Amino acid sequence: AQTVTQSQPEMSVQEAETVTLSCTYDTSESDYYLFWYKQPPSRQMILVIRQEAYKQQNATENRFSVNFQKAAKSFSLKISDSQLGDAAMYFCEAKNSNYQLIWGAGTKLIIKP
Amino acid sequence: KAGVTQTPRYLIKTRGQQVTLSCSPISGHRSVSWYQQTPGQGLQFLFEYFSETQRNKGNFPGRFSGRQFSNSRSEMNVSTLELGDSALYLCASSFTGPKGGELFFGEGSRLTVL
């Protein structure tokens, strides 16, 4: 069975510093997509960044970037210059060619002012 | 462009009752997926519909069911409610079918079972 593991239930970082959230996945598929979603307190879940497994280049969206290591099945999210608005639950998600959606348990990110 | 709309936002039921939740996707989106979110279990995938067909299903008992209409609106039903069904139920829509497409989430329906 496919699994997605987020080993850090909670992380904290000082404002303006950098933090990395970890995500590992297990799939036998060769064609899949990986996503990070953010759920701020009492607000809707929104997409942060996505990575296609066939692309070797790591995805980047402004202050958010991923470290995608396909062989190690690792997909970590790096947030640079952390801001108070980054405080949220972060979920890692994997989708395979059969449209199966597998989610990690989430990491609560706390930003210290 | 209107976002994903879920109704009702809050509801309270008692054990043994049944409940129906509704989700209206973003116009043009044909895929709708449903999730149960609880503090202890995180986000659990319930099922996904694409063009009125259930394409995938998570590991939930048969008390949880859903359907999608020709206008892509979707409903999920939970019968014979149990205390453990108390959760935030999220709906998400996607344009391409969720393989590589971004999911757009609604604000959720918070169900409390007494």
Flag the least confident range among B10-19, B49-58, B60-69, B84-93: B49-58
Q: Say which DSSP state A92 is in.
A: E
- How would you class B37 by CB atoms within 10 Å of its CB: exposed for 0-12, middle for 13-18, buried for 19 or more? buried
Check whether B98 has a pLDDT greater than 60.
no
Predicted pLDDT at B61: 96
Least CB-CB distance to B43: which of A35, A47, A91? A91
- How would you class A8 by CB atoms within 10 Å of its CB: exposed for 0-12, middle for 13-18, buried for 19 or more? middle
SS3 content of chain A, % helix, strand, coil (to 5): 5, 55, 45
Is there a contact between A86 and A79 (Cβ–Cβ < 8 Å)? yes
Residue, of B98 and A62, whose pLDDT is higher? A62
* H or E segment to which residue B32 belongs: strand B31-38
Residue range B77-83: average pLDDT?
Answer: 97
Residue, of B43 and A9, whose pLDDT is higher? A9
B50 to chain A, any CB pair closer than 8 A? The answer is yes
Peptide bond into B39 cis (omega under 30): no
B23 to chain A, any CB pair closer than 8 A? The answer is no
Mean pLDDT (chain B, rounded): 91
Check whether B40 has a pLDDT greater than 90.
no
Predicted pLDDT at B33: 93
Predicted pLDDT at B79: 96
Check whether B97 has a pLDDT greater than 60.
no
Predicted pLDDT at B1: 64
* Rounded-to-integer distance, Cα B113 and Cα B54, Å: 27
Predicted pLDDT at A92: 95
pLDDT 10s per residue in chain A (113 long)? 678 999 999 999 999 999 999 999 998 887 888 999 999 987 889 999 999 888 889 999 999 999 999 999 999 999 999 999 999 999 999 987 777 778 999 999 999 99
How far are the Cα atoms of A19, A21, B43, B58, B61 from residue A98, in angstroms, in the given order? 33, 27, 19, 13, 21
Q: Which residues of B touch A102 (CB under 8 A)?
A: 45
Least CB-CB distance to A99: which of B55, B92, B106? B55
Residue range B4-12: average pLDDT?
Answer: 96
